[in-house]
Structure 1
């Protein structure tokens, strides 16, 4: 129940506190930009998950009970905060053994979207194209692995190659965005993690990008990771949120950003599209041929064919959604799901097993990458040619407004 003194600011403050307590029960990473003593106090709080969920439901009721406002920006803020509360509550219910009834219901509650369904026939058609592209008589998954392994960046050169790619991504982004003079990204090679890369934003325009050296990183991922994790992806997005929303507008709820909520689709979608915004296809190939491949000590032989392969593999990305749907909600056993990913995602047994580990930990989060990217790409392409100053301005608006999926999708209802 709300009081006459209640406000969206008060609910937002409480959301951060409850969110930090919630993280005691959720192993997924999150961003926190407020005072460290507040985080430590939350860590020391023994409140059980059921009580935290009760607090989240109470915050939803308080937010809904606030007097109506004619301020459009305030309306958007309330809407976004309400959707974030629904997402955290849903995640908590999942952790409590009460998942939604279906994959689509889960993605709707967690991220505010429902990704398209694709049949096995769709993936078989794409696999057939790859079968014609990659020569040889061995099983296709073996031919693909052998062909692709020619472009693995040696582990002892990862830091140099990824660092140089990120430097170029930064240079191109700084031509379009005004970046703080003190901003910086530090690379940290780590291992035994269920992801390839993760950006830990530390505040004050500083980030640590953690790269998992246990996962083979192929040459096309260098620019992708540099743009996705750094510029104009997660690092730039986080510093803009801190500058424009927290400091500029006083929207304290953005001091706590969990891995669920509609913002996740926008963030991952924008980061996944960042490379295409910063580089044309030809620019990317030339930079890889002239700079990155020599740094990695790799040959550029077969690079054109490799790019056709990358195009098809990108379309097979949606197979991961279907694997998650089958594994989480349709009872497909682990080994069978791994084999399904090998057949329709053309992943090796080891990569497919790692992929399934990610799905097991993050569940339907997989849609934020592929459907998020499709959503951002379609929105920006509807505004004009990609790579122009105007498209960069629209991208900047996506990062700073903030916009949610319902604002970006062509046909949505309030």
Structure 2
């Protein structure tokens, strides 16, 4: 089989599994930027049978052009088998999909994160959860209509700092769009043609101390920069991006690490203090923004542990989130909906495990450039 035929067959397989998993050819298990006629053909045909898709994945796996593509076919095969009724233990299903072994994160990691929050937050009274919520409230943007202009300024700064690591094309446009009726807080979307949008949920109070953190994660050097640079360099290799896959472990790890990569130390807080906070009437309070963000990254491990509990049908999932993720009732309710077992459940492991891998590996500009321009797997960033 030629590489061209293999890639077409893989794209059709991914489109079919996406439709079966989400009920829509444009569902959320896949980012597809290949020929429109392939997507239209899948939309017009009867829904596929999961078992047949698993067999097709097996066939493609035998002649995959690269280890990278083979890892992604294994992920599609695992989901097809899951949709066909196979129920592997969550860690085993996650390993097949993500290319790494999801593991239970020891609570000592979260205890250390709580201690770090205790040291980073202002004030001395109250629980870490109470003090975190008070800090968030003190930095809340009250006029959400000002947010697009603030995001524009943050995009300019994060893009300039990313360009010092890897050349970026001129003429790029990144817009901010306020949205509602969505489950996410923020999402970066590369639309092609050097155009991108950062979508922000206007219904969730926006913490201005997180401005650069969110924009770096969703934009530069995070999701938008990675999508744009790889599409420019790799062309049709980026037509199909199956989201429950090894590459998204690294994408989400990069997103969580993004602010630290371009604003080392306290540089993000210094920039916000000089360029944003005074005009909003937010005064310094002695908090350490970078330390808060690192602690919250560590607390992504709570989600993976909670996913294990949910998969076992354990009743204490909500209490676990409240104890270790420091969630209030509203946050807990939203999290429980996302933790309901589904074919996409292993995706939640990608955040903590991706961040843990990359914070050890992405130690200099050359490795960050590789993350942004090469097709890497978790196994490629372990040494």
Scaled by the length of structure 2, the TM-score of the pair is 0.88
Give the 3 Å change call, closer, same or farther, for CA 230–131 of structure 1 in structure 2: closer
Among 83, 88, 95, the residue aligned to 1:100:
88
Among 183, 194, 203, the residue aligned to 1:214:
203
- Measured after TM superposition, the shift of residue 22 of structure 1 is 2.1
Residue equivalent to 1:150: 138
CA distance in 1, matches of 2:267, 2:291: 16
- Measured after TM superposition, the shift of residue 87 of structure 1 is 0.7
Residue equivalent to 1:118: 105
CA distance in 2, matches of 1:290, 1:134: 20
Residue equivalent to 1:357: 337
Give the 3 Å change call, closer, same or farther, for CA 134–96 of structure 1 in structure 2: farther
- Measured after TM superposition, the shift of residue 269 of structure 1 is 1.4
Among 395, 398, 403, the residue aligned to 2:368:
395
How many residues end up aligned between the 2 structures?
374
User: Alignment partner of 1:24: what SS?
Assistant: helix
Q: Give the alignment of 1:235-246 within 5 angstroms.
A: 235-246=224-235
Residue equivalent to 2:259: 275
Give the 3 Å change call, closer, same or farther, for CA 31–83 of structure 1 in structure 2: same
CA distance in 2, matches of 1:128, 1:59: 46
Contiguous gaps of at least 5 residues in structure 1:
1-5, 67-74, 247-251, 382-390
- Measured after TM superposition, the shift of residue 29 of structure 1 is 4.7
Q: Give the alignment of 1:3-402 within 5 angstroms.
A: 6-27=1-22, 28-50=28-50, 53-64=51-62, 66=63, 77-102=65-90, 104-124=91-111, 126-127=113-114, 130=117, 135=123, 140-154=128-142, 155-246=144-235, 252-295=236-279, 297-305=280-288, 307-328=290-311, 330-333=312-315, 336-360=316-340, 362-381=344-363, 391-402=364-375
Contiguous gaps of at least 5 residues in structure 2:
23-27
Give the 3 Å change call, closer, same or farther, for CA 94–142 of structure 1 in structure 2: farther
Give the 3 Å change call, closer, same or farther, for CA 313–392 of structure 1 in structure 2: same
Farther-moved stretch of structure 1 (225-234 vs 310-319) = 310-319
Q: Deviations over 1:341-379 (max 9, x none)?
A: 111111222122223333336422122222111211211
CA distance in 2, matches of 1:196, 1:15: 32
Q: Deviations over 1:16-73 (max 9, x none)?
A: 12211222123325322222232222222222342xx523432432441x4xxxxxxx
User: Alignment partner of 2:20: what SS?
Assistant: coil
The answer (yes or no) to whether the contact 2:29–2:244 under 8 Å persists in 1 is no
The answer (yes or no) to whether the contact 2:20–2:47 under 8 Å persists in 1 is no
Scaled by the length of structure 1, the TM-score of the pair is 0.82
Give the 3 Å change call, closer, same or farther, for CA 315–55 of structure 1 in structure 2: closer
| RMSD between aligned residues | 2.5
